Amino acid sequence: MPVLILLSLSHFINDMLQSVIAASYPLLKTELNLTFTQIGAISLVYQLASSVFQPVVGAVYDRHPNPRSIPIGMCFTLTGLLLLAFARPVWLISAAVFLVGIGSATLHPEASRITSLAAGERRGFAQSLFQVGGNLGGSLGPLLVAAVVSVFGRRYIALFCLISLAGILCTRPICTWYGHYLEEARDKPRQRTTAARPPFGPVATAAIISVLSVLIFSKYIYMASLSNYYTFYMMEKFGIRVTTAQICLFVFLFATAAGTLVGGPVGDRIGRKWVIWASILGTAPFSLLLPDAGFYGTIVLSFCSGFMIASAFPAILLYAQELLPSHLGMVSGLFFGFAFGVAGVAAAILGRYADRYGVIAIYRFCCYTPLLGLVAAFLPDLKKRARLSGPSDENPNNSVK
Can you give the pLDDT at residue 196?
58
Kindly indicate the confidence band of residue 254, based on its pLDDT and cuts at 50, 70 and 90. confident
Can you give the pLDDT at residue 336?
67
Question: Mean of the pLDDT values across residues 55-70?
Answer: 75
Q: Which long-range contacts (CB under 8 A, 24 or more apart) does 151-160 make?
A: 154/24, 154/27, 154/28, 154/31, 154/84, 154/85, 155/85, 155/86, 156/85, 157/20, 157/24, 157/81, 157/84, 157/85, 158/81, 158/82, 158/85, 158/86, 160/17, 160/20, 160/81
HSE of 39, CA atoms in CB hemisphere, 13 A: 28
Can you give the pLDDT at residue 197?
66
- Within a 10 A sphere around the Cβ of 361, how many other Cβ atoms? 14
Can you give the pLDDT at residue 296?
92
Kindly indicate the confidence band of residue 389, based on its pLDDT and cuts at 50, 70 and 90. low
- Within a 10 A sphere around the Cβ of 169, how many other Cβ atoms? 11
pLDDT at 64 over 80: no
Can you give the pLDDT at residue 345?
73
**Model's pTM, two decimal places?**
0.64
Can you give the pLDDT at residue 300?
92
pLDDT at 398 over 50: no
pLDDT at 251 over 80: yes
CB 321 within 8 A of CB 332: yes
Question: Mean of the pLDDT values across residues 372-393?
Answer: 63
Kindly indicate the confidence band of residue 359, based on its pLDDT and cuts at 50, 70 and 90. confident
Residues 187-227 pLDDT 10s: 665 544 444 566 677 788 888 888 887 887 777 778 777 77
CB 302 within 8 A of CB 230: yes
CB 328 within 8 A of CB 62: yes
pLDDT at 340 over 80: no
pLDDT at 397 over 70: no
- Within a 10 A sphere around the Cβ of 381, how many other Cβ atoms? 14
Identify the architecture of domain 2-387 in CATH: Up-down Bundle (1.20)
Mean pLDDT of the chain: 77
Complete DSSP assignment for 116-159? HHHHTT-HHHHHHHHHHHHHHHHHHHHHHIIIIIHHH-GGGGGG
pLDDT at 364 over 80: yes
The residue ranges of every structural domain in the chain are: 2-387
Higher pLDDT, 340 or 355: 355
pLDDT at 394 over 50: no
Burial call 299-320: b when 16+ CB within 10 Å, e when fewer: bbbbbbbbbbbbbbbbbbbbbb
Residues 100-159 pLDDT 10s: 888 888 887 788 778 877 776 667 777 777 777 777 777 777 778 877 777 777 788 888
Q: Quote the percentage of the chain above a pLDDT of 90.
A: 1
Can you give the pLDDT at residue 366?
82
Question: Mean of the pLDDT values across residues 14-27?
Answer: 81
Can you give the pLDDT at residue 249?
82
3-state secondary structure of 302: helix
Higher pLDDT, 400 or 85: 85
Can you give the pLDDT at residue 338?
66
Task: Tell me the angle at which helices 242-270 and 295-310 cross, rounded to the nearest 10 degrees.
Answer: 30
Can you give the pLDDT at residue 315?
76
Question: Mean of the pLDDT values across residues 281-294?
Answer: 85
